[in-house]
Amino acid sequence: MRVTIFGSGYVGLVTGACLAEAGNHVICVDVDAGKVDRLNAGEVPIHEPGLDTLIKRNKEAGRLEFSTDAAKGVEHGLFQLIAVGTPPEEDGSADLRYVLAVARTIGTHMGRYSIIVTKSTVPVGTADKVRKAVEATLQARQAAVEFDVVSNPEFLKEGAAIQDFMKPDRVIIGTDNPRTVELMRMLYDPFTRNHERFIVMDVRSSELTKYAANAMLATKISFMNELANVAERVGADIEKVRVGIGSDPRIGYSFIYPGTGYGGSCFPKDVKALIRSARDAGHQPDILGAVEAVNARQKEVLVHKMRRHFEDRLKGRTVALWGLAFKPNTDDMREAPARTIIDMLLAAGARVRAYDPVALEEARRIYAARSSEFTLCRNAYEAAEGADALAIATEWQEFRSPDFERLRELLRQPLIFDGRNLYDPAVLARFGFTYYGVGRGKSVGAG
| Catalytic center residues | 266
Gap between the Cα atoms of 384 and 410, Å rounded: 6
* Cα 355 to Cα 333: distance, rounded to the nearest angstrom: 13
| Cα separation values, 280 from 91, 92, 151, 265, 284, Å | 11, 11, 21, 23, 9
Q: For residues 364 and 350, what is the distance between their CA atoms, to the nearest angstrom?
A: 18
Which stretches of 175-296 are assigned E, i.e. beta strand?
198-201
Cβ-proximal residues to 14 (8 Å cutoff; 6+ apart), any chain: 48, 51, 156, 161, 162, 165
**Between the CA of residue 212 and those of 163, 170, 248, 249, 368, what are the distances in Å?**
22, 14, 23, 21, 37
Best CA proximity match to 322, nearest among 406, 246, 379: 379
Backbone Cα Rg of the chain:
24
Q: How far is CA 306 from CA 144, 315, 435, 446, in A?
A: 66, 11, 11, 12
DSSP single-letter state for residue 368: G
Under 8 Å between Cβ of 417 and 392 = yes
Nearest to 300 by CA among 268, 333, 342, 266: 342
**Backbone phi and psi for residue 25, each to the nearest 5 degrees, phi listed first:** -100, 115
Closest by Cα among 139, 272, 134, 155 to 215: 272
Which residues lie across from 322 on neighbouring strands?
A: 355, 392
What is the rounded CA–CA span in Å between residue 12 and residue 176? 25
* Contact of 54 with 43, CB cutoff 8 Å: no
Q: What span, in angstroms and rounded, lies between the C-alpha atoms of 226 and 301?
A: 11
CA 201 to chain centroid, in Å, comes to 25
Q: Contact 326/221 with Cβ under 8 angstroms?
A: no
Q: How far apart are the first and last CA of the chain?
A: 66
Nearest 5°: phi and psi at 118? -90, 110
Which residues are registered as beta bridge partners of 125?
Answer: none
**DSSP assignment letter at 307:** H
**For residue 196, is it left (φ>0), alpha (ψ between -120 and 50) or beta?**
beta
